[in-house]
Structure 1
Amino acid sequence: MRIILLAGVAIGACMVGPAAVADATADRAARDLIERPQVCGPAGPTETGAPVASMVMVDGFGTGGFAVDTASPEAQAWFNHGVRLRWAFEHSESVRAFRKARLIDPTCGMCAWGEAWAMGPNLNGGGNDPEVQEQALSTAREARRLARDATPMQRQMIDALVQRYSGAKGSRSRRFAQGMDRIARQNPADVTVAAITADAWMMNADEWWDDEGKAADPGITRAMNILEQALAQAPDDPGAIHLYIHLTEWSDDPHKAIPYGERLAALAPGASHLVHMPSHTFYRVGRYRDAMMSNVNAVALDLRYDGLADPPGGVPGMPLHGHNIHFGMGGALMAGGGDEGLKLAEWFLATYPDIPARNVWRQVVSNNAYAVYGRFGTPEQVAALKEPPVSHPMLRISWRYARGEAAARAGDAAAVRAEAEAIKLLRGDAAFDAGPMAEERRDFTELSQRVLEGRAAMIEGNADAAIAAFKRAAEIQAKGEEGGDPPAIWYPTRRSLAAALLMKGDAAAARDKIQELLEDWPGDPYSYFVLAEAERALGNMDAAAEALRLSRVEWIGGAMDLKLA
């Protein structure tokens, strides 16, 4: 897996659950996110003290589950629902569902297995607390004691799960993956076993792909083989599709997941996260409008689930709700989807109004909400944005950035430059370096400043100054990967550099820069617009017409302007 500078997989939703990162653990938590970023939003606690008996079974979570050692149809139904919730990354709700199955049938060993499985490590980084793992081990051992009527394969699954929580910590995930792999090889037609095994190998690998998109760990190669074999047998299995989208996203061929992603929402129409999941593929391959709409729908489903099931913490407490909003805003920014983007941005700021001062992640990811206002908001909407408090410098920078982008749309170079200078002053404050993620915050802040400096220079017709500003912004952004899961820096700053080069009169360099960045940001409509202008300047009218056509494939906004590229 790639480690991405200020990217969505590490920050993207980066709501870090509903609670702030405690001061004592902020540095460690931030470091963990950088070293082992989550694949889909923030880690949420998989242990829950929420009521179980009153839990409601919401429909639309697709298929999943298998016959277990219970004579109770109701317990079996709740077990199956727990499996479906687990593959929908509703980890806490999955734990509750398995507990409800156990409440109905206390003798069900596999129901205890399900609870222990759902409590444990997951691809979003949850389930790793020692206290949770101790409780999961106790529950897995209880499952072993109860499972007299389970099948031989299911007892093997329980034994493998015990390995996940016991013995040397450094080998637990590997031993669990190996144990499940033996079961998978003995039962190649079992899609559930295949998905659990692939999931285990994915969690065991420190890195999934190298810079060329080739597998960087043998377990990833094995996971890919397992999932492709499973999908050949069961192409409509939501859990296998979910994992396959994640696994292929940063591989050398993310397009392989397109046919699966295109039907996943229909397979689990009530599962917010599964409706969201295709956007990982869509954004990666340049289908920004589809990425936006997948998340507009996912946000609506979160509200529906809250109304039907009344989960603990409500909508703000849903660990992946912020991820859905952020991803939708990212798609809107790239596609020019101002109407939907502004709705999402308004909802984001209303849902998370009191971001803790120490929660740097949530402050950084809020940038997309402010960027939406800057790129699409009316002057009245931008003026109505409340200035964040001094205690939240990252939010203040994003607020300044929004005002600067809005001023750039109005052609007011002086106002744009004033916002850039204000950001520079914030960055120069000695107190700014205090706290976690100092380097990341400095990079994010300088990049925001340079973009606005470049915008002002473009309005003024100062190509040299614009090139210098955008070149520095691109250098900062190049510290990590671009494209894919929406980054906090919402667009490829190289396209602004290309526009500045074009203003300078170097159309060939502008064309080369756009062709280079389209490898990371395929389908970017604004980049194709810049490319069309470069080809026109070079006298390549057919190429210009084709680039202009491509610029309209994903763009649903208004007229494009090189000064705003």
Structure 2
Amino acid sequence: MRPRLLAFTAAMLCLAGPAALADATTAQADARASAALIQSPKGCGRVGSALDAAPEADMVMVDGFGAARWTVDTDNPEAQAWFDHGVRLRWAFEHKESVRAFRKARTLDPDCGMCAWGEAWALGPNLNGGGNDDASMNRGRVLARQARRLARDATATQRQMIDAMIQRYSGRKASRDVRFARSMDRIARRANDDPLIVAVAADAWMLQADEWFDDEGRPKDQGVVRAMTLLEQSLARAPNDPGTIHLYSHLTEWSDDPHKAIPYGERLAALTPGASHLVHMPSHTFYRVGRYRDAMRSNVGAVALDKRYDELAAPPGGVVGMPLHGHNLHFGMGGALMAGGAQEGLALAADFLSLYPDIAVDAVWRQLMANDAYAIYGRFGTAEQVAALKQPPADRPLLRASWHYGRGEAAARAGDNRAVRADAEAIRTIRSDPAITGDDAQEQKDFMEVSQRVLEGRAAMLEANAPAAIAAFTRAAEIQAQESEGGDPPIIWYPTRRSLAAALLANGDAAGAKAKIEELLTDWPMDPYSYFVLAEAEAALGERTAAEAARARAAVEWIGGEMRLALA
């Protein structure tokens, strides 16, 4: 499975982030880069260049990012401490903060060659799509060459790493990534007991690949195979290295066996209890294997840590300026919707809508993320909470359609089929507006149509009109199936095929409903609501034991109370 759905969106989120995400759709170039990230999931969202990192003088060293230490060519203990912190921040995907830390180390010891190497590394290409701009590349080359001039006291291995970094920024741009990966690989073969060196080499192999896996999770690039080998060998020696675990979680997520990362991901938060992104990171694995509650809870923790970091370190822009904060909120909301986490989900949705009260017209990805916030109010909010949601402006069609979708879901819970149909019709009107133009106009309209058809199907289920419900949900599922349904989290929050299965069951086709659920569970493992529908289908078929087994599986991930076929 590959997360390619609606490839016009801003970034894979974290990826998102991804990607969570910085608003990366404000320019055509960003849109193209974002689409490329959707096609080749590599991280948690676009973060942009780190060149404009805040001044390092007032930086605060926040605890909880790990304990790794890597001795470099400095006798200044403070410079050494800031170098180590820079490494930890880099593996936590805090790219700008990592640059600041390495700059702080260089201020404390201007003769530290590896401190200059660290800044060059942190400025350069990363799995979030940043560091590829010419300005960052040119600055990285200056820093790498400066590191070589300063590295008189560096070890032979460290000088080789500096030479490799020069390769990353020199010569033909098209071959830089591969040359850097090969150079680091040679070093890693000789220093395979050093987790940092091996992780840098694996990261380089991951970055040079245009695509990692095919739709079956098989590697499409030999560099990806090599990265997997490097990471697994390193984890066998150092199973608690946060950087290695982080990369392994990303690399296995879309492989044919994401379960391999579970034991490492389960310990990552304890190893880095102050690092928001690393506390978030296991949710990528959890979501892929169907542990939706854990995905939700990981991101509840990550959101809280973003706020803590803001209180302790006061980074420029605060929480709203953190490029991966929106990704944490989005991922947490996705997990809450799937697990029935009303309390946690409503808190995340309220945070999202208050933190981003005026999403820009061209910030398409963030508008799409807001759909989860409105869906949460629709699925779990009180009537008063839903009524209090402010209607978005008319020039934000995606937001306004999502607002109607949330209201329609709430009306469906209340059994008000007329109100559900009114919101569905409002969405139809919005998506029919000829003012929606541009390269991504059809994709935006498709996204809105899914919400419209789901509400039409909900209304038909309330009216006991199963054939109409089947027609509506079939259309929603057709749109969703135009690309793979996956993502981190999926941009359409649930498998609309389960609603179709519920409609088939309501129409007397229990066997068809069962087949549809069994089909979708390969893409949405352990979906509790799907197991509920399966239990009802098995019961209708007279399979009492199978029905009880399905109900038991539904209870594993569901914390949301009563389930109803009309809301499946």
Q: Within 5 Å, give how 1:414-493 maps onto structure 2.
A: 414-432=418-436, 434-483=437-486, 485-493=488-496
Residue 169 of structure 1, CA deviation: 1.1
Residue 149 of structure 1, CA deviation: 1.0
Residues 471, 363 of structure 1: alpha-carbon distance in 2 compared, 3 angstrom cutoff: same
One of 74, 78, 89 as aligned partner of 2:78 = 74
AA matched with 1:493: T
**Structure-2 separation of matches of 1:406 and 1:11:** 28
Partner of 2:168: 164
Partner of 2:294: 290
Q: Within 5 Å, give how 1:397-412 maps onto structure 2.
A: 397-412=401-416
CA displacement, residues 439-491 of structure 1 (integer Å, 9 cap, x when unaligned): 32122111111111111111111111111111111111112222452112100
CA displacement, residues 98-148 of structure 1 (integer Å, 9 cap, x when unaligned): 000000000000000000000011001111111111111111111111111
Percent identity of equivalent pairs: 69
Residues 508, 261 of structure 1: alpha-carbon distance in 2 compared, 3 angstrom cutoff: same
Residue 24 of structure 1, CA deviation: 5.5
**Structure-1 separation of matches of 2:438 and 2:34:** 10
AA matched with 1:103: T
CA contact (8 A) 2:539 2:547 kept: yes
Partner of 1:505: 508
CA contact (8 A) 2:333 2:376 kept: yes
**Structure-2 separation of matches of 1:49 and 1:197:** 25
Partner of 2:4: 4
1:47 aligns with 2:87: no
Partner of 1:122: 126
Q: Counterpart of 1:316 in 2: which secondary structure?
A: helix
- TM-score, normalised via structure 2 length: 0.97
1:315 aligns with 2:319: yes
Residues 22, 485 of structure 1: alpha-carbon distance in 2 compared, 3 angstrom cutoff: closer
Q: Counterpart of 1:42 in 2: which secondary structure?
A: coil
1:527 aligns with 2:523: no
CA contact (8 A) 2:2 2:486 kept: no
Partner of 1:138: 142
Residues 31, 488 of structure 1: alpha-carbon distance in 2 compared, 3 angstrom cutoff: closer
1:210 aligns with 2:214: yes
Residue 53 of structure 1, CA deviation: 1.1
CA contact (8 A) 2:501 2:512 kept: yes
One of 554, 559, 562 as aligned partner of 1:559 = 562
Decide which moves more: 46-55 or 197-206: 46-55
AA matched with 2:510: A
Decide which moves more: 2-11 or 293-302: 2-11
One of 323, 329, 347 as aligned partner of 1:325 = 329
One of 264, 271, 277 as aligned partner of 1:267 = 271
Residue 5 of structure 1, CA deviation: 0.3
1:58 aligns with 2:62: yes
**Structure-2 separation of matches of 1:106 and 1:21:** 39
Residue 26 of structure 1, CA deviation: 5.5
CA contact (8 A) 1:413 1:456 kept: yes
Q: Counterpart of 1:81 in 2: which secondary structure?
A: helix
Residue 347 of structure 1, CA deviation: 0.3
1:106 aligns with 2:94: no
Residues 25, 215 of structure 1: alpha-carbon distance in 2 compared, 3 angstrom cutoff: closer
Residues 480, 543 of structure 1: alpha-carbon distance in 2 compared, 3 angstrom cutoff: same
CA contact (8 A) 1:254 1:284 kept: yes
AA matched with 1:558: G
AA matched with 2:468: A
CA contact (8 A) 1:455 1:564 kept: yes
AA matched with 2:504: L
Partner of 1:346: 350
Residue 49 of structure 1, CA deviation: 4.0
Query: Which sections of structure 2, spanning at least 5 residues, go unmatched?
Result: none
1:184 aligns with 2:184: no
**Structure-2 separation of matches of 1:32 and 1:263:** 31
- TM-score, normalised via structure 1 length: 0.97
Q: Counterpart of 2:435 in 1: which secondary structure?
A: helix
Total equivalences in the alignment:
564
Query: Which sections of structure 1, spanning at least 5 residues, go unmatched?
Result: none
Residue 25 of structure 1, CA deviation: 4.2
Partner of 2:370: 366
**Structure-2 separation of matches of 1:189 and 1:60:** 24
CA contact (8 A) 1:140 1:162 kept: yes
**Structure-1 separation of matches of 2:171 and 2:271:** 39
**Structure-2 separation of matches of 1:24 and 1:16:** 20
One of 538, 544, 550 as aligned partner of 1:541 = 544
**Structure-1 separation of matches of 2:250 and 2:69:** 21
CA displacement, residues 60-83 of structure 1 (integer Å, 9 cap, x when unaligned): 001334111111010000000000
**Structure-2 separation of matches of 1:23 and 1:258:** 38
CA contact (8 A) 1:163 1:175 kept: yes
Q: Counterpart of 2:321 in 1: which secondary structure?
A: coil
CA displacement, residues 5-57 of structure 1 (integer Å, 9 cap, x when unaligned): 04896257447755564356464355444444552123233222412111010
CA contact (8 A) 1:374 1:401 kept: yes
CA contact (8 A) 2:167 2:179 kept: yes
**Structure-2 separation of matches of 1:280 and 1:312:** 28
AA matched with 1:10: M
AA matched with 1:5: L
**Structure-2 separation of matches of 1:11 and 1:403:** 26
Partner of 2:389: 385
**Structure-1 separation of matches of 2:143 and 2:89:** 19
Residue 219 of structure 1, CA deviation: 0.6
Q: Counterpart of 1:366 in 2: which secondary structure?
A: helix
CA contact (8 A) 1:420 1:450 kept: yes
One of 232, 250, 253 as aligned partner of 2:236 = 232
1:299 aligns with 2:286: no
Residues 66, 289 of structure 1: alpha-carbon distance in 2 compared, 3 angstrom cutoff: same
**Structure-2 separation of matches of 1:220 and 1:41:** 20
CA contact (8 A) 2:141 2:166 kept: yes
Measured on the aligned residues, the alpha-carbon RMSD in Å equals 1.6
CA contact (8 A) 1:4 1:10 kept: no
Residue 363 of structure 1, CA deviation: 0.6
Partner of 2:90: 86
**Structure-2 separation of matches of 1:450 and 1:261:** 37
AA matched with 1:208: W
